[in-house]
Amino acid sequence: MSLDIQNVSKIFPGPRQGFFGRGEGFTALDDVSLSIRKGASFGLVGESGSGKTTLTRCILRLESLSAGNILFDGSDIHKLTPLQMRRLRSRLQIVFQDPYASLDPRMTVHDIVAEPLVIHGDVVNMTASRRTERVMELLLQVGLRSEHLFRYPHEFSGGQRQRIGIARALAVNPEFLILDEPTSALDVSVQADVLNLLHRLQVELGLTYFFISHDLGVIRYICDDVAVIYRGRVVEQGPVAAIFDNPQSDYTRMLLDAMPDPDPDRSPFRKIAAV
Amino acid sequence: MALLDIKNLNLAMRSYEGETQILHGIDLKIERGEIWGMVGETGSGKSLTGLSVSRLIASPPGRYLAGSIEFQGRDVLKATDKEMRMLRGRHIGMIFQDPTTNLNPAFRIGTQLVDVALHAGHADPSVLGLGAGASRGDFKKAAKRVAVEMLEKVGIPKAADRIDDYPHQFSGGMRQRVLIAMAMIGKPDLLIADEPTTALDVSVQAQILRLIHDLVAERNIGVLLITHNLGIVAQICSHVAVMFRGRILEAGKVNDVLKRPSHSYTQALLNSVPTVHTKRGELMGLSGAMRETSA
Ligand SMILES: Nc1ncnc2c1ncn2[C@@H]1O[C@H](COP(=O)(O)OP(=O)(O)OP(=O)(O)O)[C@@H](O)[C@H]1O
Ligand SMILES: Nc1ncnc2c1ncn2[C@@H]1O[C@H](COP(=O)(O)OP(=O)(O)OP(=O)(O)O)[C@@H](O)[C@H]1O
Ligand SMILES: [Mg+2]
Ligand SMILES: [Mg+2]
């Protein structure tokens, strides 16, 4: 599945003023164009608050567009009928940014992961026991265990919840995955496993990824192409190696310089610390 | 007397299958001026350790099997609820990993920050720059001023204009910065920060690290920084503890632990950080063998 984002803008309405008026709107996305190739991983990095999550919400049609088009395999998603949109959603899944807010606290892990299989039952068509098997298989893939099956989200750590979100997104064998900071709560060794799992699925099944992360090391590892976004505008995009080795914009250079180095000797703070 | 002295902490949590022991004898001592990093496996008990210090684990499901947590010489596990309310928000500042515990979606960002500032101010008016005889009006005004100042310090642009926004109007990283502001408003002696910068871009992250660093330098506070980011630990922490399955595997000065790890798990973590040269698919996770034997 390929995705074309063409000149997309999103302006949030300003605060209400009096009965009819509104203050100045807030431009979260300003003329953004990206093109994500089928079977590739596209990374999006950028300032916090620069519109990354808003863009994913536009792709899922959770937000209207103020301007521009979003095309999946050439067809405009904001023109799809509800039925067509539902079909599309079975091929397009998302791992949400916040592992605390995105899991329903009243559902067990089993039901959370099985939910997309039920919602898209007309496409997936599994018996209840087959669904449970599938859920088990997914939990194992992301490094959780069968004993976790009937627990509720609040009984899990941040990283465990994040993996539940990933398992849910993979449940229906989607073709396209939007991953909004999918490994931010994982320790680096589990992160390595998850990244390798995503890579393997991509090789085996030809998945396409839209991968948002603040971790430039992760983006470099998993992505083919990358776009850098700042204040709602794309400041540069291209192949990962080209952008990271030879950044053209000041903002990208600043990001690369601000990456914390895992070598203690290269800390700007070291002077004071008790070493 | 250490600022914080956790001794032989053993915690069990009750869940669907019954009670499981989560923390197995945690020992950790933090002096003023020290920034302790805590890294380790997801689910190893880092957050529950941090929450224990503010005594925020309800019982049930939690139960302490043994141990003590001395803050300035007093065991918080034995303190009264009233004493705990004094400690929280004033002497112990806490940035939660779960933003939903501290941000109420129904109230404006500003209102929530002002509440925290007022709470701290009533415990100690000097936090708001006030004397003992200040009036209610003074408190309100000062709390609002401090709230805006803190939001600016954590890098929310045009903070004064955004103070009336609701949490859903903030991005993930902006919400996280509100939590950081909340924890710092009371000028605590001990700051517990649980994954404080996961939703932040690296430049805002650097700004927050600078803020924490300056707070330690100026006010000689102690910090427990829970993070998965070994880069952050290397940059800002003086010490680090490595957790695995409810135990601290090794702890010590950052340079010693990161440069000469004595435990293979620590080494495995260091190997799992993707670098410029790692080829896709070749990143080392924790080997399957290690996952099994340590389970
Ligand atoms: N419903 C809304 N109403 C008004 N403004 C909004 C709304 N949702 C988001 N915004 C604003 O749009 C901007 C972009 O937010 P978005 O969540 O897309 O950022 P982001 O790039 O995902 O940031 P982060 O890295 O922190 O998650 C922010 O300034 C935010 O305050
Ligand atoms: N309310 C609860 N009931 C039962 N078990 C719980 C509860 N909260 C946490 N646990 C379990 O306790 C263990 C430790 O959880 P904790 O949140 O401290 O992990 P963590 O080290 O902070 O992990 P992460 O890095 O993923 O945030 C986990 O295995 C989790 O499943
Ligand atoms: Mg976001
Ligand atoms: Mg945690």
Angle at A11 between CA A10 and CA A16, to 5 degrees: 150
Which residues have CB under 6 Å of ligand 1?
A 12, 26, 28, 48-54, 97; B 168-174, 199
The predicted pLDDT at position B157 comes to 87
Question: Looking at A75-79, A96-100, A224-228, A251-255, which range is the least confident one?
Answer: A96-100
For a mutational test of ligand 2's pocket, the pick from A157, A187, A190, A194, i.e. the residue with the most ligand atoms closer than 8 A to its C-beta, is A157
pLDDT (tens digit per residue) in A102-125: 899 999 999 999 999 999 998 888
Which residues of chain A make contact with B203, given a CB cutoff of 8 A?
A: 47, 254-255, 258
Mean pLDDT of A189-199: 91
- The Cα of A240 is separated from the nearest Cα of chain B by a number of Å equal to 11
In ligand 1, the atom with minimum distance to the C-alpha of A12 is 4
Which residues have CB under 6 Å of ligand 2?
A 154-160, 185, 187; B 13, 15, 22, 42-48, 61, 97
- The Cα of B50 is separated from the nearest Cα of chain A by a number of Å equal to 13
Mean pLDDT of A68-79: 94
The predicted pLDDT at position B290 comes to 57
Q: Which two tokens stand for residue B42?
A: 């997801």
Q: Among all chains, which residue has been given the structure tokens 């599938």?
A: A134
The predicted pLDDT at position A9 comes to 97
pLDDT (tens digit per residue) in A249-265: 999 999 999 988 888 88
- The Cα of A76 is separated from the nearest Cα of chain B by a number of Å equal to 27
Sign of CA dihedral A243, A248, A252, A257: positive
Q: What is the mean pLDDT of chain A?
A: 92
B205 → chain A, closest CA residue: A258
Strand partners, A42: A210, A225
Q: Does B286 touch chain A (CB under 8 A)?
A: yes
Cα A174 to ligand 4 centroid, rounded to whole Å: 29
A274 → chain B, closest CA residue: B238
How big is the A-B interface in CB pairs under 8 Å? 199
Q: Which ligand is nearest to the CA of B157?
A: 1
Q: Which two tokens stand for residue B134?
A: 């200040």
Nearest to B36 by CA among B292, B181, B236, B255: B236
The predicted pLDDT at position B288 comes to 53
The predicted pLDDT at position B99 comes to 76
Of B17, B35, B231, the CB nearest to A147: B17
Cα A204 to ligand 4 centroid, rounded to whole Å: 33
The predicted pLDDT at position B57 comes to 94
Chain B window 171-210: which residues touch A at a Cβ cutoff of 8 Å?
A: 171-174, 177, 195, 198-206, 209-210
Percent of chain A with pLDDT over 70: 97
Q: Is A275 a residue whose pLDDT tops 50?
A: no
The gap between the terminal CA atoms of chain A, to the nearest Å, is 52
Name the CA dihedral angle for A26, A29, A31, A37, rounded to a multiple of 10 degrees.
-170
Which residues of chain A make contact with B281, given a CB cutoff of 8 A?
A: 196, 199-200, 203
Query: Which of A189, A211, A228, A235 to mutate to test binding with chain B, by most B CBs within 10 Å of its CB?
Result: A189
In ligand 1, the atom with minimum distance to the C-alpha of A26 is 5
pLDDT tens series, chain B, 295 aa: 899 999 999 999 998 778 999 999 999 999 999 999 999 999 999 999 999 999 999 999 999 999 999 999 999 999 999 999 989 878 999 999 887 778 899 999 999 999 999 999 988 899 999 988 889 999 999 999 999 999 999 989 889 999 999 999 999 889 989 999 999 999 999 999 999 998 899 988 998 999 899 989 988 999 999 999 999 999 999 999 999 999 999 999 999 999 999 999 999 999 999 887 888 888 887 765 455 444 3
Q: Which two tokens stand for residue B104?
A: 């109420």
- pLDDT-derived band at A271 (thresholds 50, 70, 90) equals low
Full-model pTM: 0.93
Rounded to two decimals, the ipTM of the complex is: 0.89
Mean pLDDT of A232-250: 95
B18: left (phi over 0), alpha (psi -120 to 50) or beta: left
Q: Does B105 touch chain A (CB under 8 A)?
A: no
b/e per residue, A115-132, with b = 16+ CB within 10 A?
Answer: bbbeebeeebebeeeebb
**Which of residues A20 and B176 earns the better pLDDT score?**
B176
Strand (E) or helix (H) holding B115: helix B109-123
Angle at B99 between CA B98 and CA B100, to 5 degrees: 90
The verdict on a CB contact (< 8 Å) between B99 and A269 is: no
The verdict on a CB contact (< 8 Å) between A157 and B284 is: no
